[in-house]
Amino acid sequence: MSRQSRTTQPVGLWLIGARGSISTCVAYGLSGIVEGRIGPVGLVTETEPLASLPLVPLENLVLGGHDVCTRSLTNSAAELVRSQVLPPDLVEMSAARAAAFDANIAPGLLDGPDVGFADLDPRSAELGSASPREQIERIQADLRGFVVEHGLEHLVVVNLASTEAWYEDRDEWDDLADFEAALDAERSQPASIIYAYSALDAGFSYVNFTPSRGSSSAALRALAEERGTPHAGSDGKTGETLLKTVLAPMFRARALKVRAWQGYNMLGNRDGEILHDPSHRISKLRNKDEALRSILEDPDMHSHVSIDFVPSLSDWKTAWDFVHFEGFLGAEMSLQFTWQGSDSALAAPLVLDLARLCTLSAARGEVGALAHLACFFKAPLTGGSHAFQTQFDALLDYAGSS
Amino acid sequence: MSRQSRTTQPVGLWLIGARGSISTCVAYGLSGIVEGRIGPVGLVTETEPLASLPLVPLENLVLGGHDVCTRSLTNSAAELVRSQVLPPDLVEMSAARAAAFDANIAPGLLDGPDVGFADLDPRSAELGSASPREQIERIQADLRGFVVEHGLEHLVVVNLASTEAWYEDRDEWDDLADFEAALDAERSQPASIIYAYSALDAGFSYVNFTPSRGSSSAALRALAEERGTPHAGSDGKTGETLLKTVLAPMFRARALKVRAWQGYNMLGNRDGEILHDPSHRISKLRNKDEALRSILEDPDMHSHVSIDFVPSLSDWKTAWDFVHFEGFLGAEMSLQFTWQGSDSALAAPLVLDLARLCTLSAARGEVGALAHLACFFKAPLTGGSHAFQTQFDALLDYAGSS
Amino acid sequence: MSRQSRTTQPVGLWLIGARGSISTCVAYGLSGIVEGRIGPVGLVTETEPLASLPLVPLENLVLGGHDVCTRSLTNSAAELVRSQVLPPDLVEMSAARAAAFDANIAPGLLDGPDVGFADLDPRSAELGSASPREQIERIQADLRGFVVEHGLEHLVVVNLASTEAWYEDRDEWDDLADFEAALDAERSQPASIIYAYSALDAGFSYVNFTPSRGSSSAALRALAEERGTPHAGSDGKTGETLLKTVLAPMFRARALKVRAWQGYNMLGNRDGEILHDPSHRISKLRNKDEALRSILEDPDMHSHVSIDFVPSLSDWKTAWDFVHFEGFLGAEMSLQFTWQGSDSALAAPLVLDLARLCTLSAARGEVGALAHLACFFKAPLTGGSHAFQTQFDALLDYAGSS
Amino acid sequence: MSRQSRTTQPVGLWLIGARGSISTCVAYGLSGIVEGRIGPVGLVTETEPLASLPLVPLENLVLGGHDVCTRSLTNSAAELVRSQVLPPDLVEMSAARAAAFDANIAPGLLDGPDVGFADLDPRSAELGSASPREQIERIQADLRGFVVEHGLEHLVVVNLASTEAWYEDRDEWDDLADFEAALDAERSQPASIIYAYSALDAGFSYVNFTPSRGSSSAALRALAEERGTPHAGSDGKTGETLLKTVLAPMFRARALKVRAWQGYNMLGNRDGEILHDPSHRISKLRNKDEALRSILEDPDMHSHVSIDFVPSLSDWKTAWDFVHFEGFLGAEMSLQFTWQGSDSALAAPLVLDLARLCTLSAARGEVGALAHLACFFKAPLTGGSHAFQTQFDALLDYAGSS
């Protein structure tokens, strides 16, 4: 293993949904770690063997992003202080860095069905009604301007926006030429696809941390290959699904028959509110059930996943899973678990990990969907398995063979 | 991979604690599977890739064993029917096979401190007061007689007896010559060591499914190497510890800091009653905590394990674990789980798996502690890791490279 | 307190849904208690001070009923044995009494929307298409025939049928004369109302153990008053709602502010299957939420109740409730509970209690909705409070002042 | 009901353990409510019908107290901010009131066995070694000085100190004359008894919120009667035991047979640390088990309570209870709950409630152990029942008949 030297150039981390909870945690957490106020708990790239990879140092990351609302970052931070995710002193002491980030946030692209919420940036609504080609042009102008302004060696664009409404499959997404033709024909597209196209087409890494479409279609995968850019996704695996993909392989390995797996999720933040809407929820729930079915491969298994909006919980995702299983002699047994975690504090360090690992891939010329990052996602673009430990072993192998 | 032909000869499975709950489940479950009444749920050797190994067919297994009590197998079965582990019709239809097993049960060796329970076989008490060399001789006579009587190709001796009282380390256990000298000097030994010595010395495979000493000492490991016999242990990993070794690697892989891990176990069967006694409990609890510490490697972590005797639960082990952990930004989160399973129905299929895998190892000339069987144990004699998935991957590798 | 002498005459208990799980438990449980095979666990009328009331002795109860399916009682019992609710030996030893009950089961009335299930009795479908007046006539003929055949002193009709589909309110239910006119006009009515009318009009006690309409309307309440018959309902309070009405008063008494109360129910029996259908579920869920709101009286509280069909659980209702509450200083706290119980075994003793208490009321000339029975119901017809302890105190007062 | 006019004079609330977590919550919470920054959540005296009693207004309460450590109140508050019990802005804005309270804290009396902790006030150690009569004299001087300095109409002394080590029963506690003789003979006494004697003897109300001996002996009960002062205790019922005394009556009312009730408590604050010591724990656990046995009255029931020290939980008491019960037909069912609450935030409002209710009793001339306050305690001095709802009904009756 030859140790490559770490870059000393700044690298950009562009957050779509820049004023949301996860982005706010990324910003204040990064600031806190760089200034030595908090430890790097939750960051796998700060543990061995990944820490020995020639990753971009955390202090070299420069934050920017898009958002469709006008709420200030300070407001988002105050909300996370109230719900006891962000420590109040950290917010105070990171004010300068937060302001710098805030200055790098441009009006984002509003997805078609999402209209009429309170603090919508009118420029986002306006961009939402532009033609797809113009949307791409203006987004790329923001990205390139950010790179030039900060002298960035590379840029990683991460989609952290709230889950989009569900779109049915379209033929134009199966082939890059068809997709380009659809853009030319001014057929409007989901915002997540426009963003992914903008990033990949401009040669920037792209990560889809949401269940929205993003770069998952054949057309955009082809674009990434053509432009020689790496990408990864979809849907960050942070809580209940992480546990499912850790526990289900155990039942399989012990030849225990899972008869029913019921998963009940409760969430009170803006994500929870948006998932309250059935058209958005359908995107989310698909990924949560698929992992289980893929690992257990038992068509008789009964399963159920729901997400309920419980405002008082704010960012504190609480999930209860009940697994009814059969053992030897037909004995009926059960496992139940309750998971209580801050959704945003679980997601934010993964975003930093992904930004560093994508930057390394870009530097190494790794192109297309990155299989070794499957452990970060509920619906990996590629990687072969939903089983968490198998996915994580692939990441360790990648680190070990570097 | 060259496929060896399966044996068609009978193979013996000798159960120490032959009238206990696990043995009873082994006997009736084996009967039920062989006669096609129940499926092989819980048997990993009946799933791929292990099912493709040239393992002894289940119908070729002949059961025998030792026990220190006089209770009939039918009584043990009735108790398991009452506690809804054994289906009543299975017991009825397996009467002939159960009687055949019962006929093969000889009086066992009583461990020194265990005196005075109700249905103690007086011959066990008498054997308990014989000299170590005589104990070994008489146990070996039982084992060899069983082999001859049934024309067995191989014999696997499995310790399923209740956990022994705790014995402090002795110098004589560090070296085989010293141990032989201690036997000659009539220094009395824990029953589990006498059994292990008897089996290994006679060239039979030995499996220690309990936390008792068994073959774990340097002296007995040397004996196994010298006699060219395989062995495995200690302490079957069936429930709460299995979950710990599945979940702890997840926290590690995500760089989440476990601050406290509290494990509360409740059990109502004879095992639970014996563990109620502090001198027996110490043997058990050591293994349950060690796995966690080894995986997380965090000296600051607070942990606790307890086992309480709750008679009404009978065989239904119920465990509640509470994991308090810290994520990004110092956010405090928790995971708690409740596990409700029949302890004996979880253990029994592993005993059958181990018997088949040890038989294969013996046939292949694999000698000493078997590293690929680590996934079956709380305190593996060898194998390198407590992490369940890593252990299971080693078993898959063994199967795949055969 | 003047102690009345107990009746020595037989009293009839007529079960609508006579082949269902609850009725099966009533039948075998009653047989087991009368024959001294099991104790009266779950029967509050066998504990003081209720046991001192001049209640009909259990051995004097004679069972009969209606059902719309043709499944035999033996089949229902076998299913409950498989799901480990009914002990197999109890079923065997109660065969004669079960057969006697089976002989007293007549084809029931199918509710309009409930068509096309497998083992439907064609006579029930035929009765379902008769005119309301004819339905009443034929049901009353069954009831009266039963009374005459067995020389019954009194008859209590209990609705244990699966929850009916939801019916919107109708003006004709607000007034007895209007309702009689609707019957004359051959306007078809929910089965539960036809049954309630038939019982009350004939002077028999009526208990609605389901969330269906039954006798809850003003019209049927007036009928009961007019005919001088007692009635009670609705919807037996057996599990999660019982706990809610026990725990919610505690939060109220401690001035703790409940911010969210989420209730998730899972059920695998026929009831669960029928509640899987939204039009039936709506009837059920209304009652489960109403109790909580009535006790806590906090319009800001967020609450949610769901019932999911999980076939593998069969009769074993499993519920998880999560209560998020605020204490002094705004500190956020939580209580969660998991309830695992056999739905039918929880309901059956309450049916016996209600039959005995209604018989006493009839003998004493107590007329109309019985307030002292509120503790048995999720949606009491009368009684003033949903708080369980308050309701139970009313029952104790009734017993104490007798 | 004649409505008495509320006092307008200041009333003293003297806290033993004045720098501990509960006292800190009392002080900042009282300040927050009086200044209108937080609502009176958790205060039952602010809800009807109690709010209509002529209670001392919260703004008339003046705080003082004893403590054996030198830690400043500000430090205690900072710790509670870190563990997210106290809101940081409330601490800032209550600085003046907190300083006023701090000025009223005098060195307390160290209990004999409690030596050698870090921040012990040397004056407390010195007082600990004085003769009992001198201890009483100096404590009474502190109390009387406080009354005079602030012109107090009445004083309520509340024991909030950490649980004392367990003392075996002594004959001298059975009779007041014997006790006085023991004091004269300079026989050293538990600190909690000295405090209780000092308060009652001086004519002040006394409340024992801890499991320590306090005023529970016959000798001190006689003293209270003789001096005409009211008192109440012992051991505030705030969490797991509260739930037990709410749930156990439900099992009783439904004639369900509780077979086992296991309670596991975890705590990380100073109380938890002290209870880690077996001699202190014995005092605590006695009360937690007694309530259950008294309500269920079933000698066959198996029960268990434990308290474990889990430092990372700090003030967040987490309890898991598992109830194994039998229903109709012998069906085995279970209820389990997890309670997560801030121990101090649960206790503090009860202290304010008790201070107000004792002041009212003193004004009305109610003497001795106050039966209507049983609902506040795990081991009520008097009141007749452990069932929470019955106890609370007694309080409502008291309020209603005033």
Residue whose token pair is 């042009």: A137
The β-bridge relationship of strands C368-369 and C316-326 is unpaired
Sheet containing D257-267: order of strands: C302-309, C257-267, C316-326, C332-342, D332-342, D316-326, D257-267, D302-309
Nearest to D42 among C84, C328, C338 (CB): C328
Banded model confidence at residue A7, pLDDT cuts 50, 70, 90: low
Contact criterion met (CB below 8 Å) for C352 and C336:
no
φ, ψ dihedrals at B310, nearest 5°: -125, 95
Smallest Cα–Cα separation from D303: which of D248, D343, D266? D248
pLDDT at D2: 37
pLDDT (tens digit, 9 = 90+) per residue, D348-393? 999 999 999 999 999 999 999 999 999 999 999 998 899 999 999 9
Other beta carbons less than 10 A from residue A323's beta carbon? 25
Query: What is the Cα–Cα distance from C26 to C60, expressed in whole angstroms?
Result: 14
Q: Where in chain A are the domains?
A: 11-236+345-400, 240-342
Query: What is the Cα–Cα distance from D40 to D57, expressed in whole angstroms?
Result: 13
* Mean pLDDT of all residues belonging to chain B: 93
pLDDT at A2: 37
pLDDT at D92: 94
The H or E element that residue A263 is part of is strand A257-267
Cα within 13 Å of Cα(A259), Cβ side: 18
In the predicted model, residues of chain B with pLDDT beneath 70 are: 1-7, 115-118, 287-288, 402
Show the beta-strand stretches assigned E in D120-221: 155-159, 205-208
Nearest to A311 among C302, C311, C313 (CB): C302
Banded model confidence at residue A1, pLDDT cuts 50, 70, 90: very low
Work out the average pLDDT over C100-128. 87
Query: What is the Cα–Cα distance from B206 to B362, expressed in whole angstroms?
Result: 11
Name the token pair of A213.
């479409």
In the predicted model, residues of chain D with pLDDT beneath 70 are: 1-7, 115-118, 287-288, 402
Work out the average pLDDT over A338-342. 97
Look at the alpha carbons of D11, D15, D19, D23 in this order and tell me if their dihedral is positive or negative.
Answer: negative
**Which residues of chain A neighbour D338 with C-beta distances below 8 Å?**
338
By the 10 Å C-beta count (0-12 exposed, 13-18 middle, 19+ buried), B371 is classed as: middle
Query: Rounded to two decimals, what is the model's pTM?
Result: 0.95
The β-bridge relationship of strands C316-326 and C332-342 is antiparallel
Contact criterion met (CB below 8 Å) for D13 and D355:
yes
CB contact, 8 Å: D322 with chain B?
A: yes
A369 conformational bin, left if phi > 0, alpha if psi -120 to 50, beta if neither: beta
With a CB-CB cutoff of 8 Å, which residues 193-252 of chain B face chain A? 242-243, 246-247, 249-250
pLDDT at D5: 52
User: Cβ B320–D336 below 8 Å, yes or no?
Assistant: yes
* Mean pLDDT of all residues belonging to chain C: 93
CB contact, 8 Å: B133 with chain D?
A: no
With a CB-CB cutoff of 8 Å, which residues 60-79 of chain B face chain A? none
Nearest to B310 among D302, D306, D318 (CB): D302
Question: Which string of b and e fits D85-95 if b means at least 16 CB within 10 Å?
Answer: bbbbebbebbe
Contact criterion met (CB below 8 Å) for B102 and B64:
no
Name the token pair of A324.
């009814």
Name the token pair of D107.
């060195």
Contact criterion met (CB below 8 Å) for A58 and A33:
yes
Smallest Cα–Cα separation from C274: which of C242, C240, C311? C311
Q: How many CB pairs below 8 A link B and C?
A: 3
DSSP A284-331: HHHHHHHHHHHHH--TT-EEEEEEEE-GGGTTEEEEEEEEEEE-GGG-
Smallest Cα–Cα separation from B33: which of A329, D185, C37? A329
pLDDT (tens digit, 9 = 90+) per residue, A71-92? 999 999 999 999 999 999 999 9
Query: What is the Cα–Cα distance from D252 to B63, expressed in whole angstroms?
Result: 48
Residues in chain B: 402
User: Cβ A329–B29 below 8 Å, yes or no?
Assistant: yes
**Which residues of chain C neighbour A266 with C-beta distances below 8 Å?**
260, 262, 322
Q: Is the pLDDT of residue C285 over 60?
A: yes
Residue whose token pair is 């009730």: D261
D202 DSSP 8-state letter: T
Q: Which residues have a Cβ under 8 Å from the Cβ of A249 and sit 6 or more positions away? A: A295, A387, A388, A389, A390, B246, B389
**Which residues of chain D neighbour B308 with C-beta distances below 8 Å?**
262, 304
φ, ψ dihedrals at A206, nearest 5°: -135, 135
Q: Is the pLDDT of residue C113 over 70?
A: yes
Query: What is the Cα–Cα distance from A354 to D166, expressed in whole angstroms?
Result: 56
Name the token pair of B9.
């000869």
CB contact, 8 Å: D296 with chain B?
A: no
**Which residues of chain A neighbour C312 with C-beta distances below 8 Å?**
259-260, 302, 324, 332
pLDDT (tens digit, 9 = 90+) per residue, C362-372? 999 999 999 99
pLDDT (tens digit, 9 = 90+) per residue, A287-320? 667 899 999 999 999 999 999 999 999 999 999 9
**Torsion, Cα of A366, A372, A376, A380 (10° steps):** 90
Smallest Cα–Cα separation from C83: which of C23, C21, C27? C21
Query: What is the Cα–Cα distance from C204 to C197, expressed in whole angstroms?
Result: 10
By the 10 Å C-beta count (0-12 exposed, 13-18 middle, 19+ buried), A138 is classed as: middle
Name the token pair of C321.
């409730």
The crossing angle, in degrees rounded to 10, of helices C176-184 and C132-150 is 100
Residue whose token pair is 């992003």: A65
pLDDT at C319: 97
Residue whose token pair is 């307890």: B306
Work out the average pLDDT over A189-198. 97
Chains sharing 3 or more CB pairs under 8 A with chain B: A, C, D
Smallest Cα–Cα separation from D357: which of D149, D66, D46? D46
DSSP A183-249: HHTT----HHHHHHHHHHHTT-EEEE-SSS-TT-SHHHHHHHHHHT-EEEESSB--SHHHHHHHHHH
**Which residues of chain C neighbour B84 with C-beta distances below 8 Å?**
84
User: Cβ B324–D304 below 8 Å, yes or no?
Assistant: no
Class of domain D11-236+345-400: alpha beta
Q: What is the CA radius of gyration of chain C?
A: 21
User: Cβ B389–A253 below 8 Å, yes or no?
Assistant: yes
Query: Reduced to 3 states, what is the DSSP secondary structure of residue C329?
Result: helix
User: Cβ B84–C88 below 8 Å, yes or no?
Assistant: no
pLDDT at C355: 98
pLDDT (tens digit, 9 = 90+) per residue, A222-263? 999 999 999 999 999 999 999 999 999 999 999 999 999 999
Banded model confidence at residue C116, pLDDT cuts 50, 70, 90: low
Q: Which of A20-24, A160-164, C42-46, D10-14 has the lowest mean pLDDT?
A: A160-164
Work out the average pLDDT over C267-289. 77
Name the token pair of D313.
């939980």
Q: Which residues have a Cβ under 8 Å from the Cβ of C12 and sit 6 or more positions away? A: C61, C62, C63, C64, C146, C147, C150, C152, C154, C155, C156
**Which residues of chain D neighbour C341 with C-beta distances below 8 Å?**
327, 331, 333-334
pLDDT (tens digit, 9 = 90+) per residue, A346-383? 999 999 999 999 999 999 999 999 999 999 999 999 98
The crossing angle, in degrees rounded to 10, of helices B191-201 and B132-150 is 50
> How far lies B148's CA from each of A163, B59, B157, C334, in Å?
70, 19, 15, 64
Contact criterion met (CB below 8 Å) for D18 and D146:
no
Peptide bond into D23 cis (omega under 30): no
Task: Give the minimum alpha-carbon distance from C401 to chain B in angstroms, rounded to a whole number.
Answer: 38
pLDDT (tens digit, 9 = 90+) per residue, D323-347? 999 999 999 999 999 999 999 999 9
The H or E element that residue B179 is part of is helix B176-184
C200 DSSP 8-state letter: H
Decide yes or no: CATH 3.30.360.10 for domain D240-342: yes
Banded model confidence at residue C237, pLDDT cuts 50, 70, 90: very high
State the amino acid at position B345 in one-letter form: A
Work out the average pLDDT over A387-401. 95
Query: Reduced to 3 states, what is the DSSP secondary structure of residue D23?
Result: helix
Query: What is the Cα–Cα distance from C245 to B175, expressed in whole angstroms?
Result: 66
- H helix intervals, C83-165: 88-93, 95-103, 122-128, 132-150
Query: What is the Cα–Cα distance from A54 to A73, expressed in whole angstroms?
Result: 31
Task: Give the minimum alpha-carbon distance from C143 to chain B in angstroms, rounded to a whole number.
Answer: 40
pLDDT at B282: 78
Contact criterion met (CB below 8 Å) for A225 and A201:
no
pLDDT at B100: 96
Sheet containing D155-159: order of strands: D105-107, D61-67, D11-16, D155-159, D205-208, D230-233, D368-369
* Mean pLDDT of all residues belonging to chain A: 93
pLDDT at B3: 42
Task: Give the minimum alpha-carbon distance from C243 to chain A in angstroms, rounded to a whole number.
Answer: 19
